Each structure stands twice: as structure tokens, then as C-alpha cells.
């Protein structure tokens, strides 16, 4: 049975995502960082820009922060500033990939002092969570090797578990540790957390407060991410997403730019386990749209997520189950495609109108002149 427009509007009004602070500042390719006039230079300007996305979409719950990129002296002041802009501080992301001491690993480093330094950095992030009211610790570590023989896999896993247990024991009861896996880069021979299976095993070893976060750009070509969503969700270990888009590797392109059907299929799978309008999952955008004006790119990504979610709610689940039971493959696929090929933009525009917003968020933002204003103000 299909959801009615009123139900769809209710769902999309309660559908919220987190935007990444690092998505509003200059970023680049492996070869050059490109400067965009007016790009945010510190966490206060990043929050100001995130508030623009919230102003035109009413779909932003919080700003995910990255440490030390977003480090400040007064976390209470930052929390208050975000609140004054109608936003919360979201997931806190430690940075274990830019310190000289982590050349041969962070939480897996054979050197006790360097490993302890990495653990201390993550413990500092937990303290920042306590001061900002954040409940999510989002941990990606680049640890791995570049050549056969360079490292002992089992020894490194032993050190990793030991480090993660020290971190896990510092979490408050209402906090969640999200383990982010990635199959390569910066390491090019092996990565210590390369796939969902390893992240799942680590989260099981740690306990209920540890879950897995899926970054859409962190899989080998051809990987069926919807299947991973089903496996982790059915085991209570899916904690959230880093949404972006990619054609080749960890391209971090704007959400839905090259994989809208895959994104839709991921939401179809999620709807079997979660009511996404309840905010249980950490739905975080993780992109660095180096070539695009940052705020426009972020509004595009929020809209792609809203559209993929709305389309996924149109799948007639009962008819699909019936077709699956009859192994009527063509009918089953047509039921899925019918939902995907339905234009949900009229419903989204109506929901925006009812929320007192401009129907076309991107257009309204561009016409606001905010970009030229901040380009002047920020020099």
C-alpha cells in the first residue's frame, strides 16, 4: 500500500541530516586546494554557512565538527553560537591522519607513546562531546601499510582493539562510537579497518555503544552497499552514514550527483529497519565539493537526500513482498522502478511551502545575495 501525500509531507518535514563543517571551507584535489571567494575560514563562519542551508531547507539538525580543524578555546561559547543559529554540534570527528607521529599508524602504532598520543587525542574529542552536548564520536583511522611485509596484521589488530577499548570505556552511557571503514587510501597495500566486516567485528568486540558508519565512497567498485545496510541493520550495528557520491574512488562529490538510483536503493533498504524521520541514525553528509560554491553544493546534497528518501517511501512494500514470494523478478523490479521514476519534487515543494519556505531552496539562496555579501565581508 503506497503512502499518501500528507504522510509523505509529514515524513520529509521530520527528516533531518547533519552537515560537515569541513564541507564549507576550501578543499582541493590531491594536486591543489582551490580557493573559493567567501569560503568559511573558521568554525564560526562554517556554522554561519550551515545555518544558510538550514534557513532554506529546514532539514539540517546539526553541524558535524572535525578536531583540530574546528578547535576553539571556549566550547560552551561555540555551542551557544550554534544554538543561536538554530543548530546543534553534531558528530565529533577526531583527526588521526595529519600528524607526523602517525606516519606508521595511530591506534595501531607499535610505539607506545605515539599510540597513547592518538588515544589521548580521541579522549580529548570525548571531552569536547561532553562540553558541546554531542553524543556521537565518529572515528575514521587511516592506519595501514603500503608494502607486503611492512606490518603484522594480527599484531596491529591486537593494538587496535586495545586502543579502542580504552576509548570505549571513556564514553558516557548515552554516547555512541561510530567506526568508519575504508578499503584503501592513504594506505595502498592493507588498511586496518578496510570493510564493513572488520568494523562490525570490532564493534562487537567493544559493546553496544559501538556501531558502524558507512561512507558511500569507501567501497571497492561494484560493492553492493544496500546489502551492507541490510546486514548491519539486521544485527543492530548500523550507526549512520557519510553521504557523498563517487564514480571512481573516495571522490567525495555532492550527494546523488552520479549515484541517485543507488542512493534510493539504500533508503529502500533502510526503511525496512528504521523510521528515518525519527533521527535514530546519524545521517551525515561528508563531501568536499572542491569545484562548486560550497553552500550551493550542500543544498544540492540535502535535496538529493530528501528526494531519494521520498522516492523510497513510495515503494509498495506489500506488492513487492508478493512478487518476491512468486519469484516474479520483472514485477518486483518494476515496483521498485515505479517508485524511483515517480517525480517527488511536487510533494517536496508543497512541504516546503507549508513550512513557510521558498519552494526552490537553491534558487532562493542564490537570489539572497549571501554569497557576494560574505565574499566582501571575508575578504
Sort residue 275 into left (φ over 0), alpha (ψ -120 to 50) or beta.
Answer: beta
Interface with ligand LRH in residues 171-210 (CB under 6 A):
180, 182
Query: Whose CB is nearest to Mn ion?
Result: 242
C-alpha cell at 302: 540535502
Contact call for residue 215 and ligand LRH (CB under 6 A): yes
**115 vs 242, beta carbon nearer Mn ion:** 242
**286 vs 371, beta carbon nearer Mn ion:** 286
Candidate list 45, 48, 49, 215; residue touching Mn ion; CB under 5 A: 215
Contact call for residue 93 and ligand LRH (CB under 6 A): yes
Interface with ligand LRH in residues 115-134 (CB under 6 A):
none
Burial level of 10, CB count in 10 A (0-12/13-18/19+)? middle
Contact by Cβ (8 Å): 107, 191: no
CB of 11 to ligand LRH, least distance (A): 27
* Contact characters 272-291, Mn ion, x per CB under 5 A: --------------x-----
Contact call for residue 21 and ligand LRH (CB under 6 A): no
Candidate list 9, 46, 237, 242; residue touching Mn ion; CB under 5 A: 242
Closest-CA residue to 23 (of 340, 242, 316):
242
Interface with ligand LRH in residues 243-282 (CB under 6 A):
250
Residue 331, CA distances (Å) to 271, 309, 321 in order: 20, 22, 11
303 binds, among ligand LRH, Mn ion, none (CB under 5 to 8 A by kind): none
Candidate list 102, 140, 243, 267; residue touching ligand LRH; CB under 6 A: 140
57 binds, among ligand LRH, Mn ion, none (CB under 5 to 8 A by kind): none
Candidate list 16, 115, 219, 242; residue touching ligand LRH; CB under 6 A: 242
Contact by Cβ (8 Å): 25, 40: yes
Please name the residue that has the C-alpha cell 567501497. 219
Cα(208)–Cα(147) distance, rounded to whole angstroms?
35
Closest-CA residue to 281 (of 205, 196, 212, 201):
212
- Over 205-231, what HEC string results? HHCCCEEEEEECCCCCCCCCHHHHHHH
93 binds, among Mn ion, ligand LRH, none (CB under 5 to 8 A by kind): ligand LRH
Helices (H), the chain: 5-13, 43-57, 75-84, 112-132, 153-168, 196-206, 225-233, 260-270, 294-312, 317-325, 329-340, 345-354, 361-368, 370-377
CB of 361 to ligand LRH, least distance (A): 25
Binding site for Mn ion (CB under 5 A): 215, 242, 286
Binding site for ligand LRH (CB under 6 A): 22, 93, 140, 180, 182, 215, 242, 250, 286
Amino acid at each position: 500500500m503506497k503512502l499518501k501525500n500528507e504522510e509523505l509531507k509529514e515524513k520529509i518535514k521530520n527528516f533531518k541530516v547533519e552537515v560537515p563543517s569541513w564541507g564549507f571551507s576550501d578543499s582541493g584535489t590531491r594536486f591543489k586546494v582551490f580557493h573559493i571567494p567567501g569560503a568559511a575560514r573558521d568554525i564560526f563562519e562554517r556554522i554561519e554557512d550551515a545555518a544558510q542551508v538550514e534557513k532554506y531547507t529546514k532539514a539540517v539538525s546539526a553541524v558535524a565538527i572535525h578536531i583540530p580543524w574546528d578547535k576553539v578555546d571556549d566550547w560552551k561559547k561555540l555551542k551557544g553560537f550554534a544554538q543561536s543559529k538554530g543548530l546543534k554540534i553534531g558528530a565529533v570527528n577526531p583527526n588521526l591522519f595529519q600528524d607526523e607521529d602517525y606516519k606508521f599508524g595511530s591506534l595501531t602504532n607499535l610505539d607506545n607513546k605515539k599510540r597513547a598520543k592518538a588515544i589521548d587525542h580521541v579522549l580529548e574529542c570525548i571531552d569536547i562531546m561532553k562540553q558541546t552536548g554531542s553524543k556521537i564520536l565518529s572515528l575514521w583511522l587511516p592506519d595501514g601499510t603500503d608494502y607486503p611485509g611492512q606490518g603484522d596484521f594480527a599484531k596491529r589488530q591486537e593494538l587496535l582493539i586495545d586502543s579502542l577499548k580504552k576509548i570505549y570505556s571513556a564514553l558516557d552511557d548515552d554516547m555512541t562510537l561510530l567506526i568508519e571503514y575504508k578499503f584503501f587510501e592513504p594506505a595502498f597495500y592493507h588498511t586496518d579497518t578496510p570493510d564493513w566486516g572488520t568494523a562490525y567485528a570490532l564493534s562487537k568486540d567493544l559493546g553496544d555503544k559501538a556501531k558502524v558508519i558507512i561512507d558511500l565512497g569507501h567501497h571497492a567498485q561494484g560493492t553492493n552497499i544496500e546489502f551492507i545496510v541490510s546486514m548491519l541493520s539486521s544485527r543492530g550495528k548500523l550507526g549512520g552514514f557519510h553521504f557523498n557520491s563517487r564514480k571512481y574512488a573516495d571522490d567525495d562529490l555532492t550527494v546523488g550527483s552520479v549515484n541517485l538510483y543507488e542512493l534510493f536503493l539504500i533508503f529502500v533498504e533502510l526503511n525496512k529497519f528504521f523510521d528515518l524521520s525519527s533521527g535514530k541514525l546519524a545521517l551525515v553528509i561528508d563531501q568536499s565539493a572542491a569545484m562548486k560554491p560550497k553552500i550551493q553544493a550542500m543544498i544540492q546534497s540535502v535535496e538529493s537526500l530528501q528526494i531519494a528518501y521520498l522516492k523510497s517511501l513510495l515503494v509498495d512494500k506489500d506488492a513487492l513482498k508478493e512478487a518476491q514470494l512468486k519469484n516474479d523478478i520483472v514485477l518486483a523490479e518494476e515496483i521498485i522502478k515505479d517508485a524511483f521514476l515517480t517525480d517527488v519534487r511536487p510533494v517536496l515543494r508543497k512541504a516546503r511551502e507549508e513550512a513557510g519556505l521558498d519552494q526552490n531552496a537553491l534558487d532562493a539562496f542564490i537570489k539572497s545575495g549571501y554569497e557576494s555579501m560574505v565574499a566582501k565581508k571575508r575578504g
